[in-house]
Amino acid sequence: MAASLATLQARKEALEKVMASGQLQVRFADRTVVYRSMEEMTQALALLEKQIAATEGRKRTRQIRVNSVKGWF
């Protein structure tokens, strides 16, 4: 069952709030999730952002950086 946009955004806000406080435990509704590290929380946040974008119908944004040097050093 896919979560609604409001639910996904609420989960994202709760996760961001806990990340800002430095804790590894998130409570949402009647659930509690304990993460092992901030890296794992960052991955969960990226997944939530991806799900929100898909629910809103947005495409994934990509960033390409080009660096070039002309001449000799």
Distance CA(33)–CA(29), nearest Å, equals 11
Residue pair 26/14 in contact by the 8 Å Cβ criterion: yes
CB count within 10 Å of CB 35 equals 18
Could you tell me which of 7, 19, 18, 1 has the C-alpha nearest to residue 48? 7
Block residue for tokens 């901030």: 38
Q: For every one of its 73 residues, what pLDDT tens digit does the chain have, with 9 covering 90 and above? A: 578 889 999 989 989 999 999 888 888 778 888 989 999 999 999 999 999 988 888 776 678 888 877 776 5
Structure tokens at 25: 């435990």
Global pTM value = 0.69
